[in-house]
Structure 1
């Protein structure tokens, strides 16, 4: 089971804070550092000192880390034109030496679009499908040849399809709870399918849909990686779990139900139940980015027990 650290910087984090967490992620042996792609804080958070851009952040981290993989859960399809996104991701991948992964979603948080003057189209899923076709198509185009796309939302004419990622492509993550269209897109374009904040039962059901969709298009179901994203709150004892839950404004019982919370033994046991659904990777949503002791505990007493 791979454990990856997943951050939500829109809730309040500077680049320096993210760099500190990314370096701890690397030093403590976690597999990857991922971040959300949002420009507006959610809930009661004030968001200070203000948002950081996902791909500018990852470009910086690409030069200041050496081992961990880096990526987004999920880049908002509404924020960037697909041709520009393909260039950005390929460049950051080159800057990292081939350690980048692209999670791409439709975009959903209308208020942040209003706050920063970003168009919020009514039909986002059809745009996402075109974006996936364009980004992957640009990377797959043989050097020296051109790529064109004539779609309902985007048109590209004789693109040189440059630059290329280090290994020819970047792993693409698609995720969500949709029962039909999301599995179909994953079967066609994804290297990994991620389900965020889902129960063990819902994860098993959704993974089954994606497996069936892959097989329907002639792709082996095991060709994809299946993963979860879950909030994490681990403590050496009940008091430490309660302290960490209070620091992120959550209740312990709720976290135990909907995330990975409790003692290291409790969390390891629950991860095992997710593994039984076919999940081989978990993105640990860390909400208190100043609590590096939390990461050390997870590394020493949770990660160390996982195969």
Structure 2
């Protein structure tokens, strides 16, 4: 089971804080550092010192880390045009020596669009499909050839489709709980399918839909990485667990039900149950980015037990 660190910087984290977490992620042996793509704090809190841009952050981390994979859960499709986005991601991939993974979603949080003057279209899913086709099409166009696209929302003509990523194939992530269109989109474009913050039963049901969609596309289920994103809150004992839950404004009982919470042994057992339904990768949502001892505990007593 791969364990990855997943952060939510819009809740309040500057670049230096993210750099410390990314370096700890690398030093402690985790597989990857991922971040959300949001411009506005959610829920309680003031979000100080303010938002950081996902791909600018990852560009900096690409130059200051050497091993961990880097990516987004998920880049908001409403924030960027697909052509410039393909350039940005390819450049960060080159800056990292080929360590980028590309998660793309439709965008959903209308308030952050209003706050920063970003258009919020009514139909986002059709745009997402075109965005995925354009970005992967640009990367897949052989050097010396051009790329064109005629869609309802985007049109490209005679694009040189440059630059290319350092990797011959940047892994593409698609995720969500939509019962029909989301699995079909994943089967068409994705190398990894992620279910965010869902129960075992809902995750198993959605993984099954994606497997069915893969079969319809003539792809094998083994071609897809199945993953979950879950909030992590681990304590050596109940007192430490309660302290960490209070620090992120959550209740221990709720975290135990909906996330990965408890003693290291409890969390190892729960991760194993996600493995039983087909997940081979877990994104640990870390909400207190100043508690690096939390990461050390997870590395020492959870990750090591998973092998």
How far did 1:158 drift? 0.6
1:26-105 matches, within 5 Å, as 26-105=26-105
SS in 1 for 2:249: coil
Counterpart Cα distance in 2 of 1:45 and 1:76: 22
1:119-198 matches, within 5 Å, as 119-198=119-198
Counterpart Cα distance in 2 of 1:163 and 1:257: 45
Contact 1:129 1:185 in 2 (8 A): yes
5+ long unaligned stretches in structure 2: none
Counterpart Cα distance in 1 of 2:175 and 2:162: 27
Counterpart Cα distance in 2 of 1:167 and 1:96: 10
The CA deviation string for residues 153-193 of structure 1, in whole angstroms up to 9 with x for no partner, is 00000100000011223110000000000000000000000
Contact 2:93 2:167 in 1 (8 A): no
How far did 1:144 drift? 0.2
Q: Which residue of 1 aligns with 2:293?
A: 293
Contact 1:136 1:169 in 2 (8 A): no
Q: Which residue of 1 aligns with 2:251?
A: 251
SS in 2 for 1:302: helix
SS in 2 for 1:29: coil
Q: Which residue of 2 aligns with 1:212?
A: 212
Counterpart Cα distance in 1 of 2:138 and 2:277: 34
The CA deviation string for residues 115-171 of structure 1, in whole angstroms up to 9 with x for no partner, is 000000000000000000000000000000000000000000010000001122311
Counterpart Cα distance in 2 of 1:45 and 1:281: 30
Contact 1:94 1:165 in 2 (8 A): yes
The CA deviation string for residues 236-258 of structure 1, in whole angstroms up to 9 with x for no partner, is 00000000000000000000000
Contact 2:261 2:267 in 1 (8 A): yes
Contact 1:3 1:283 in 2 (8 A): yes
Counterpart Cα distance in 2 of 1:71 and 1:155: 27
User: Runs (4+) of structure 1 moved beyond 4 Å?
Assistant: none
- For the aligned residue pairs, the C-alpha RMSD in angstroms reads 0.4
SS in 2 for 1:123: coil
Counterpart Cα distance in 2 of 1:169 and 1:19: 26
Number of corresponding residues = 307
Q: If the length of structure 1 is used for normalisation, what is the TM-score? A: 1.00
Q: Which residue of 2 aligns with 1:238?
A: 238
Q: Which residue of 2 aligns with 1:113?
A: 113
Counterpart Cα distance in 2 of 1:81 and 1:128: 11
Q: If the length of structure 2 is used for normalisation, what is the TM-score? A: 1.00
Counterpart Cα distance in 1 of 2:280 and 2:45: 32
The CA deviation string for residues 174-216 of structure 1, in whole angstroms up to 9 with x for no partner, is 0000000000000000000000001111111000000000001
Counterpart Cα distance in 2 of 1:279 and 1:221: 12
